[in-house]
Amino acid sequence: MLIGYARVSTADQNPEHQTDALARAGVDPANIYLDHASGAKASRPELDKALASANRAGDQLVITRLDRLGRSVLHLVTLGASLRERGVGLRVLEQGIDTTTAEGRAMFGMLSVLAELQRELIVANTRDGLAAARARGRTGGRRPKLTPDQAHHAQQLYDAGTHTVQRIADLLQVPRSTIYGHLNKASIGRRPTAKATLEA
């Protein structure tokens, strides 16, 4: 069975070019699924329905162009692999790809290589960026919510036993979890207890 899928980015775009092309390719209009969503949007309910309908070996998912189907090269390759595992073909009308043929499978193989290269480049660029930041004295991750002076002050108040963690958090206008994150772990639970009730 042929299952068609089309996508337009906004409600203002006309999907007829795609649906007409799918119908000319032999897809029954009742089996054409249409999403109104951007390519980057993860949730595409009609695509989910189309993929669920193409569930038998010998079925074929038909689209007009690859960019109508996947959010990225990696997403396309993942979808292609999932279809192939179920024995479902993928046919791309305007780009002449048909994974039921040797040529079509070779094309998807090349896409797999490109997807892996893309992933490795992202990892390498991230690693290089972090290394450059460290060389300039910056570290990765979120910046601490307390300055070094504030963290030192919070520790002094805590060690003195005159303020609860909640009171310190209120004074510095941060959540209690932030205070706990900056306290010396060895001091937690070891501060003087005699004064602890002064500002409970």
pTM of the model: 0.54
pLDDT tens sequence across 11-47:
657 888 999 999 999 999 999 999 887 656 567 888 8
The residue from 9, 38, 72, 177 that is catalytic is 9
Topology of domain 2-101 in CATH is: Rossmann fold (3.40.50)
Choose among 35, 67, 36: nearest CA to 51: 35
- Supply the pLDDT for residue 39: 58
Token pair for 141: 């991750």
Active site includes 43?
Answer: no
Q: Side-chain half-sphere of 112: how many Cα atoms within 13 Å?
A: 11
User: What is the residue extent of each domain of the chain?
Assistant: 2-101, 148-187
In the three-class reduction of DSSP (H, G, I as helix; E, B as strand; rest coil), residue 179 is classed as helix
- Residue 67 CB neighbours (<10 A): 14
Angle at 79 (CA atoms; ends 75, 83), nearest 5 degrees = 170
